[in-house]
């Protein structure tokens, strides 16, 4: 009789426990993701499958104090949260920001933001909204997003390279993002690529990768090439100081040799840098994100060629070069939101 009761009751208890666990997981089915850029701040609600359910934005530079900025975000974010069932449905909030320190939840001395010094942003949002909030730099957030929702799903060792106004990076080793002892590890955009006559970087040093392989770096190369070369080219119809990387791409598509050479120059420098990065962590893949990465073979071929030519022989052919699978419109919010699931 006792054995019968055990056999009868135990499966029912197990089923009950499973239902309780499922209910607990479903109690908080959403997270908030927010990306702070120098121009715009974008935020939204994301579910566990990586669907961005609602988004909004504000202008980052429009607020003189951090308190005004937080109030402005919350004035638009809280209605989004209410539309999803309220704060009790939110597991956490993740924030990607320039100079974001994961350990402290702070933004520290970000040169492109209006608030100076050390800003305890995670604590400010956690207190204002009432959910756990985690913060890291924008490239690290992109790496987490790629690992959770994108091209790096299932990977434990990869490097994320973001090619925007600057060059950012997130390094994942053994499934863990590398933060370093102070929270700022992974500034691969500031590896020096040209030690003699290198370009001046916003960080104050010369020759950083960012000065050559960012969107602004491409524009700088275009201006240098136009001065050094005399042949008539499409880019000469644009005032030199107004040239942007998209102009170079448009000219390359139309067959402009100078524009194609600019991409060749840019891609080779980035490929050389990636070869060194491979020697450091032996990643399964390097994932490229950003508008510049979408320039197709104009930039991808020289990157791959330079990587193959410069990588240490024991690593040759082992690291894939991939493009991000995150949608442009959702990428910033998705990357940051992945932090929200782990926020405590």
Helix axis angle, 328-340 relative to 138-149, nearest 10°? 90
Q: What is the pLDDT of residues 20-51, one digit of tens each?
A: 434 444 688 999 999 998 889 999 999 998 89
pLDDT surpasses 60 at 16: no
The residue among 214, 234, 235 whose CA lies nearest residue 224 is 235
Q: What is the pLDDT of residues 181-197, one digit of tens each?
A: 999 999 999 999 999 99
Residue 278, C-beta contacts closer than 8 angstroms, at least 6 positions apart: 286, 307, 311, 312, 315, 318, 319
What's the gap between Cα 37 and its chain centre?
11
- pLDDT in the model for residue 7: 44
Q: Is 332 exposed, middle or buried (0-12, 13-18, 19+ CB in 10 A)?
A: buried
Helix axis angle, 245-253 relative to 257-281, nearest 10°? 120
Please answer whether residues 340 and 93 qualify as being in contact, where contact means their C-beta atoms are separated by less than 8 angstroms: yes
Helices and strands in the chain: count of H runs, count of E runs: 10, 13
- pLDDT in the model for residue 1: 52
Look up tokens 């940051």; give the residue: 336
Q: What is the pLDDT of residues 44-87, one digit of tens each?
A: 999 998 899 999 999 999 999 999 999 999 999 999 999 999 99
- pLDDT in the model for residue 326: 86
Side by side, the strands of the sheet bearing 320-323 are 176-177, 167-173, 158-163, 285-289, 320-323
> pTM of the prediction?
0.84
- pLDDT in the model for residue 95: 96
Half-sphere exposure of 331 (CA within 13 A, CB side): 21
Query: What's the DSSP call for residue 97?
Result: E
Question: What are the structural domains, with CATH classification, of the chain?
Answer: 27-147+330-340 (3.30.420.40), 156-325 (3.30.420.40)
Q: How far is CA 245 from CA 103, 196, 229, 256, 289, in A?
A: 35, 25, 19, 14, 15
- Report the alpha-carbon distance of residue 164 to residue 83 in Å, rounded: 33
3-class SS string, 156-204: CCEEEEEECCCEEEEEEECCEECCCCCCCCCCHHHCECCCCCCCECCCC
pLDDT surpasses 90 at 164: no
What's the gap between Cα 123 and its chain centre?
22
């Amino acid at each position: 009789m006792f054995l019968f009761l055990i056999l009868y009751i135990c499966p029912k208890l197990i089923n009950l426990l499973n239902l309780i666990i499922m209910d607990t997981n479903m109690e908080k089915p959403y997270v908030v993701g927010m990306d702070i850029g120098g121009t715009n701040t974008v935020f939204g609600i994301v579910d566990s499958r990586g669907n961005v359910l609602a988004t909004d934005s504000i202008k980052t530079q429009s607020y003189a104090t951090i308190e005004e900025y937080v109030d402005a975000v919350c004035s638009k974010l809280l209605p989004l949260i209410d539309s999803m069932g309220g704060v009790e449905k939110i597991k956490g909030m993740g924030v990607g920001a320039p100079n974001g320190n994961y350990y402290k939840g702070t933004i520290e001395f970000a040169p492109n933001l209006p608030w100076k010094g050390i800003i305890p942003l995670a604590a400010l949002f956690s207190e204002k909204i009432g959910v756990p909030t985690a913060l890291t730099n924008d490239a690290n957030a992109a790496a987490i997003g790629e690992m959770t929702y994108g091209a790096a799903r299932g990977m434990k060792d990869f490097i994320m390279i973001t090619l925007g106004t600057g060059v950012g990076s997130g390094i994942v080793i053994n499934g863990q993002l590398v933060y370093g002892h102070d929270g700022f590890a992974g500034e691969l955009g500031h590896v020096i690529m040209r030690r003699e006559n290198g370009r001046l970087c916003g960080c104050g040093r010369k020759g950083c990768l960012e000065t050559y392989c960012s969107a602004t770096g491409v524009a700088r190369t275009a201006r240098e090439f136009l001065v050094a070369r005399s042949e008539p080219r499409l880019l000469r119809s644009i005032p030199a100081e107004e040239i942007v990387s998209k102009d170079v791409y448009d000219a390359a598509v139309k067959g402009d040799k100078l524009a194609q050479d600019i991409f060749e120059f840019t891609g080779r420098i980035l490929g050389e840098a990636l070869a060194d990065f491979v020697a450091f962590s032996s990643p399964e893949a390097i994932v490229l994100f950003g508008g510049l990465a979408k320039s197709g073979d104009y930039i991808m071929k020289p990157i791959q060629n330079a990587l193959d030519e410069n990588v240490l022989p024991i690593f040759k052919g082992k690291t894939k070069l991939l493009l991000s699978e995150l949608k442009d419109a959702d990428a910033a919010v998705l990357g940051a939101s992945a932090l929200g699931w782990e926020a405590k």
